[in-house]
């Protein structure tokens, strides 16, 4: 089964990105084919070099875990609007497009939006 998870919220301040990535990890444990598409402020979650207080979740680490068995796609337009370059994101996260999101939406068995 293939699952597409679309996330719009920033990495910190709300827990939608956190919970979407938690779900992606749980689905990967069930051998699901998982693609996570980060839109809007969520693209900042894939920025490398995040430093969070001890005991606080770190979105960068969570994104890296998804890239081990799944895919993290980043809205290229959203990256540009926020001044984030491909060199600044975690290894394995890929710049993508709305056309790719549309295609992934059509192909996915399930589409979840956070």
Q: How many domains does the chain have?
A: 1
Give percent above pLDDT 90 in the chain: 99
The confidence score (pLDDT) of residue 9 equals 97
Mean pLDDT for the stretch of residues 16-26: 98
CA angle 36–108–82, rounded 5-degree value: 30
**Average pLDDT over the chain, rounded to whole?**
97
- The answer to whether the CB of 34 falls within 8 A of the CB of 5 is yes
Count the helix, strand and coil residues of the chain and give each as a percent rounded to the nearest 5. Answer: 45, 25, 30
What confidence tens digit (pLDDT) does each residue in 40-74 have? 999 999 999 999 999 999 999 999 999 999 999 99
Mean pLDDT for the stretch of residues 95-108: 98
The confidence score (pLDDT) of residue 114 equals 96
CATH number at residue 96: 3.40.1260.10
Range of the domain at 29: 2-113
Mean pLDDT for the stretch of residues 5-21: 97
């Amino acid at each position: 089964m293939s699952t597409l998870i679309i996330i719009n919220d920033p990495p910190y301040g709300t827990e939608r990105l956190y919970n979407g990535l938690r779900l992606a990890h749980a689905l990967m444990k069930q051998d699901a084919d998982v693609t996570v598409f980060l839109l809007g402020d969520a693209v900042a979650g894939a920025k490398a070099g995040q430093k969070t207080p001890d005991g606080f979740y770190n979105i960068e680490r969570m994104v890296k875990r998804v890239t081990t068995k799944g895919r993290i796609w980043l809205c290229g337009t959203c990256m540009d609007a926020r001044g984030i370059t491909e060199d600044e994101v975690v290894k394995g996260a890929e710049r993508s497009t709305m056309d790719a999101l549309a295609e992934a939406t059509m192909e996915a068995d399930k589409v979840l939006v956070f």
